[in-house]
Amino acid sequence: MSMDAPDETAPADKPLTSLLTDLVASMTALVSKEVELAKAELMEKASEAGRGVGQILCGGAFAFCGLLLLLAAATLGLSHVMAPWAAALVVGGAVILLGLVLMMAGRAKLQALTLSPRRTLNNLRTDAREVADAVSR
């Protein structure tokens, strides 16, 4: 029998040390794959969280820019119809309301995220059951 041929010995015929070595190697490979899956899943969640944060920041920037630009322009336009202070109050309130809506939308996206790696946890539970079943046989 050559060294490259797979070991076709039945598990019942293998020595205990060989079985334990195989078990350790299998468990090491399994844990390594589960860690890789958890990393990938967490990176995906972090990317989603980053988009939500970006939306909040973008909403805040728009609210700030809008506040500065539109207050001046709209106040000048409305000051022909009403008192200048009332025109500034109306325009400023509308721009701030728009900014708040954008920030709340981004916040809602962040709150909807669950950062736990669900697929990895499910796989680990399944793996633990399978190992327990294999050991109990």
Q: For CA atoms 126, 128, 133, 137, give the dihedral sign.
A: positive
Question: How sure is the predictor about 3, in pLDDT bands with cuts at 50, 70 and 90?
Answer: very low
Q: What is the pTM of this model?
A: 0.39
Per-residue confidence (pLDDT) for residue 9, from 0 to 100: 53
Neighbours of 110 (CB within 10 A): 15
- Three-class DSSP category at 115: coil
CA distances (Å), origin 39, targets 31, 51, 98, 116, 137: 12, 18, 37, 11, 33
Residue 58 has pLDDT above 90, yes or no: yes
Distance CA 79, CA 111 (A): 42
Q: Average of pLDDT values for 128-132?
A: 80
pLDDT greater than 70 at residue 47: yes
Q: Considering only 43-47, 102-106, 132-136, which range has the smallest mean pLDDT?
A: 132-136
Would the pLDDT of 124 be above 70? yes
> So what's the pLDDT on residue 73?
82
| 12 DSSP assignment | G
- No. of H helices and E strands in the chain? 3, 0
Cα 62 to Cα 92: distance, rounded to the nearest angstrom? 13
Location of structure tokens 């598990």: 11
Reported as a single tens digit per residue, the pLDDT across 7-32 is 555 556 778 788 888 888 888 888 88
pLDDT tens string 62-106:
888 876 887 788 788 988 999 988 888 888 888 789 889 999 998
